[in-house]
Amino acid sequence: MYICCLMQTKPFLHTILSPGLLNLYEVSNSIVVIIDVFRATSTMATALYNGAEKIIPVAQVEDCINIGKKLNAITAGERDGKIIEGLQHGNSPAEYPREFINGKTLVLTTTNGTKLLHMALEKGASEVLTGSFPNLSAVCNHLLKTNRNVILGCSAWKNRFNLEDTLFAGAVINRIKENFTIHCDSSLMAEDMYNLHKNDMYSFIRRTTHWHRLSAFGLEKDLEYCVTPDVANILPVYEAGALIAASGN
Amino acid sequence: MYICCLMQTKPFLHTILSPGLLNLYEVSNSIVVIIDVFRATSTMATALYNGAEKIIPVAQVEDCINIGKKLNAITAGERDGKIIEGLQHGNSPAEYPREFINGKTLVLTTTNGTKLLHMALEKGASEVLTGSFPNLSAVCNHLLKTNRNVILGCSAWKNRFNLEDTLFAGAVINRIKENFTIHCDSSLMAEDMYNLHKNDMYSFIRRTTHWHRLSAFGLEKDLEYCVTPDVANILPVYEAGALIAASGN
């Protein structure tokens, strides 16, 4: 009688601190979680949670306007924290309550998040989804269930490291690390930073450079919402050119 | 009677987490501190502290061999933690006691540190020096005295973020931050990480990926030395193609 032992190795998890470092990692066999806490991926989760049919993330403003016209969709986006001229809406989750966004299509362009999403697609990610505190549990549950290699991709700020995306990566790692192989200093740091600040998140984010940038536009409430877990707990996945709520949500 | 008020602004300090992100920063009007804790900049400080006349950092192994022959100098270097074939010595600070290195010239090539040093020079840094825990105080005192913009440049590992360089950046920031303008999430994170681990440094470094890589070669003592402050407290500055001990050391 033979007993067959199948050695099971845990899938890898890496954290990428800037889109400028994405090329150092093997993207093509990984699920890539796009993280842009302030505010693109928080807004995406919120819009889908509130019933948006789909979100088309585009890199260029011109594409946003053209696709919006063609699909009779809502156009939205920001550069440097402000609504772009020629678009209808900005990048605040508060702009997308159910009574407004339910059943509609949103075409969205943002400074950092949509850029990283397109980079991950170009590099052949096996699956692309978006993560933010408002949909923290949905992301973690999916990564645990799927059991594949994961790249947590911080969108950063024009390629510069930022704290809020790193904290979210740390929150994910904190929840799912037992199921993954993690040999990655970025991930160790991210979890340390999350543990250090998970109980003072609202005050800590006031120290970040992005807070100073965005609070100048009166967005304090937005930013606090964006670090609140599970208030829009849905899983946005990229399929056929758009982010949609994964089935089962 | 007129009172003349001169508004004095503090110089900027930025932390760069990987050579791959150096191009995002204004290098040309800054002092750049090259940080490669495991082990290039720790070795450089140690060799100069023990009387080396100068250290010529070179990017290519072939250059290392050729310059070594021409100058009758000691050739040394590592790739991936091991001594390179054709060179005489490795990248361990323990290889350079006073009785061996005093009065000699060292030609050194390493995986990450010498690469970042040359990048900073190419980008026109106003001054390049090297930092590591063994010469922490010398670096801090110089930056305080000079009072110019500073870039703390982490050499990382083949452009991937590493913890030990970040901890050193955090140690510097912790000591000199009152004298600088710091609007940089990398610096906030580095100081947080340093404060979190300054009292458990020897155990913390055992969690890093680089520890696992190098301890496989039996280098534990080396690595502990490399996170010990002020045991080779000298200031290596780059002048005319070589690192020398700054006058006043």
pLDDT single digits (tens) B30-54: 999 999 999 999 999 999 999 999 9
Q: Which of residues 127-166 of A touch B (CB under 8 A)?
A: 157-163, 166
- Residue A201 and residue A215: Cα distance in Å, rounded? 16
Task: Please report residues of B whose CB lies closer than 8 A to that of A159.
Answer: 21, 24
- CB spacing of B163 vs A189 below 8 angstroms: yes
pLDDT single digits (tens) A3-19: 444 556 899 999 999 99
pLDDT of B57 > 80? The answer is: yes
Concatenated DSSP letters of B185-207: HHHHHHHHHHHHHTTSHHHHGGG
Least CB–CB distance from B20: residue in A20, A193, A209:
A20
Chain A closest CA to B221's CA: distance in Å?
Answer: 21
Domains, in order of start, for chain A: 13-244 (3.90.1560.10)
pLDDT of B1 > 50? The answer is: no
- Residue A5 and residue A27: Cα distance in Å, rounded? 30
SS3 B232: coil
- CB spacing of B20 vs A24 below 8 angstroms: yes
Concatenated DSSP letters of B3-28: ------PPPBEEEES-GGGGGGS--T
What is this model's ipTM?
A: 0.93
Average the pLDDT over B98-119 and give the result.
92
Is any Cβ of chain B less than 8 angstroms from the Cβ of A192?
Answer: yes
In this structure, the number of other CB atoms found within 10 A of the CB of residue B88 comes to 17
Concatenated DSSP letters of B72-116: T-EEEEEETTEEPTT-SB-S-GGG--HHHHTT-EEEEE-SSHHHH
Least CB–CB distance from B162: residue in A157, A185, A209:
A185
Is any Cβ of chain A less than 8 angstroms from the Cβ of B176?
Answer: no
Read off the pLDDT band of A1 (50, 70, 90).
very low
pLDDT single digits (tens) A112-155: 888 899 999 999 999 999 999 999 999 999 999 999 999 999 99
- CB spacing of B192 vs A188 below 8 angstroms: no
pLDDT, residue A144, reads: 97
- Residue B91 and residue B132: Cα distance in Å, rounded? 14
In this structure, the number of other CB atoms found within 10 A of the CB of residue A186 comes to 29
- CB spacing of B192 vs A196 below 8 angstroms: yes
SS3 A93: helix
- CB spacing of A161 vs B193 below 8 angstroms: no
Element at B57 (helix H, strand E) = strand B54-57
Q: Report the greatest alpha carbon distance in chain B.
A: 74
pLDDT of A21 > 60? The answer is: yes
Comparing C-alpha atoms, which of B90, B69, B88 is closest to residue B78?
A: B90
Average the pLDDT over B91-119 and give the result.
93
Read off the pLDDT band of A49 (50, 70, 90).
very high
Across-strand partners of B197? Answer: none
- CB spacing of B160 vs A196 below 8 angstroms: no
Instruction: Catalogue the long-range contacts made by A190-197 (C-beta closer than 8 Å, 24 or more residues apart).
Output: A190/A15, A190/A152, A190/A166, A192/B193, A192/B196, A193/A163, A193/A166, A193/A167, A193/B189, A193/B192, A193/B193, A194/A167, A194/A169, A194/A170, A195/A170, A196/B192, A196/B196, A197/A167
Chain B closest CA to A209's CA: distance in Å?
Answer: 6
Element at A101 (helix H, strand E) = helix A98-101
Least CB–CB distance from B192: residue in A158, A193, A212:
A193
Which residue of B13, B24, B189, B197 is the best one to mutate when testing the A interface, meaning the one whose CB has the most A CBs within 10 A? B189
Which residue of A37, A155, A168, A185 is the best one to mutate when testing the B interface, meaning the one whose CB has the most B CBs within 10 A? A185
SS3 A40: helix
